[in-house]
């Protein structure tokens, strides 16, 4: 039996599009910040008395269909270890409120860590990153803390994450604005595939990401939070343009997403540097230097309510232990 804890991450340069659906090889590199406030703790126990894998998330037993991706990762662990037994999987998401916030990244990273250790495999972090990738692309990056890049690679062995700065030594923070915590209507898997196959703009996306990756790495080297925010905001808007320009077009934004984006632009116009990013859902994450936290928090609390704001700092990489 083993337990792992992994923190979620939010991409500053987005992964949006697969090159290989089964291996989850991305079209491009991506880069993220692991957050301290949101994490998943998962325990795995292989037990040959079980008839099938038993998956419980936040106290609810998943049916076979809902647990499909979990079975897939467990099957990969069984293949690698030679074990054949089903497993008990018990997972708890630690979030400050019932938030729909990138839980698949922390969930599949924690599952990869706990399942591989419980099966007696001693995987290094690169191998863990590759295994987490098979559950959910963004989980690839949640093996490491701080600023992390996922190199797209060209096959299973070469597509993994690596740390850029595990211990972040400057003031970058992210404030989550919880617009809506319900489950998303368009899965990221479907949304990506629609964008890749039907948006006429998709063909320029890989070049945009290459350019943004180089620029943001330079900004990270310079510890320049405002440059990081500027690049991340533009990259996020260009990612979301791929959904709007798909056929049929769709969006993850709600009216309140746009309201929050405008509130952040208004703060900027008042001379308070802050930037936004959004993923496959309506919630907005604000990127800023901690010295500007107070006025940003005050302005957004007045508009959205303080109970819908969560301040997150850079978080740590995966921890795994035997029970």
- What's the CA gap between 68 and 210, in Å, rounded? 33
Judged by beta carbon, residue 11 or residue 176, the one nearer ligand PMV is 11
**Residues 203, 209 contacting (CB under 8 angstroms):** no
DSSP state of 154: S
Judged by beta carbon, residue 57 or residue 83, the one nearer ligand PMV is 57
Judged by beta carbon, residue 188 or residue 257, the one nearer ligand PMV is 188
CB of 88 to ligand PMV, least distance (A): 25
Sheet bearing 172-177, strands edge to edge: 275-278, 284-289, 172-177, 309-312
Query: 199: Cβ–Cβ under 8 A, 6 or more apart, which residues?
Result: 242, 243, 245, 246, 247
Judged by beta carbon, residue 77 or residue 161, the one nearer ligand PMV is 161
Judged by beta carbon, residue 114 or residue 148, the one nearer ligand PMV is 148
CB of 262 to ligand PMV, least distance (A): 21
In the chain, count H helices and then E strands: 8, 14
CB of 322 to ligand PMV, least distance (A): 28
Dihedral Cα 299, 302, 307, 313, nearest 10 deg? 0
List residues near ligand PMV by CB under 6 A. Answer: 11, 14-15, 30, 104, 136-138, 188-189, 279-280
DSSP state of 271: T
CB of 110 to ligand PMV, least distance (A): 14
CB of 271 to ligand PMV, least distance (A): 30
């Amino acid at each position: 039996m083993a337990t792992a804890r992994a923190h979620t991450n939010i991409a500053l340069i987005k992964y949006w599009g697969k090159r290989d659906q089964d291996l989850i090889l991305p079209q491009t590199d991506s880069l993220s910040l692991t957050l301290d406030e949101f994490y998943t703790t998962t325990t795995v126990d292989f037990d040959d008395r079980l008839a099938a894998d038993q998956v419980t998330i936040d106290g609810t037993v998943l049916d076979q269909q809902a647990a499909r991706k979990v079975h897939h990762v467990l099957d990969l662990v069984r293949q690698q270890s030679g074990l054949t037994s089903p497993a008990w999987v018990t997972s708890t998401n630690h979030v400050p409120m019932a938030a729909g916030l990138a839980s698949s990244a922390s969930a599949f990273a924690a599952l990869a860590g706990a399942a591989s250790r419980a099966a007696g495999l001693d995987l290094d972090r690169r191998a863990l990153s590759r295994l987490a990738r098979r559950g959910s692309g963004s989980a690839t990056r949640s093996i490491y803390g701080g600023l992390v890049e996922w190199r797209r690679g060209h096959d299973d062995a070469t597509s993994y994450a690596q740390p850029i700065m595990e211990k972040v030594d400057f003031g970058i923070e992210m404030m989550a604005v919880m617009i809506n915590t319900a489950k998303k209507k368009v899965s990221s898997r479907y949304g990506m595939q629609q964008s890749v196959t039907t948006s006429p703009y998709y063909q320029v996306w890989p070049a945009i990401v290459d350019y943004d990756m180089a620029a943001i790495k330079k900004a990270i080297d310079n510890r320049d939070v405002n440059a990081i925010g500027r690049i991340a905001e533009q990259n996020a808007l260009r990612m979301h343009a791929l959904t709007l320009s798909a056929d049929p077009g769709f969006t993850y934004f709600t009216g309140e997403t746009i309201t929050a984006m405008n509130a952040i632009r208004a703060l900027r116009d008042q001379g308070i540097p802050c930037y936004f990013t959004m993923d496959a859902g309506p919630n907005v994450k604000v990127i800023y230097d901690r010295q500007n936290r107070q006025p940003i928090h005050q302005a957004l609390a007045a508009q959205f309510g303080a109970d819908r704001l969560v301040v997150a700092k850079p978080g740590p990489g995966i921890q795994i232990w035997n029970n």
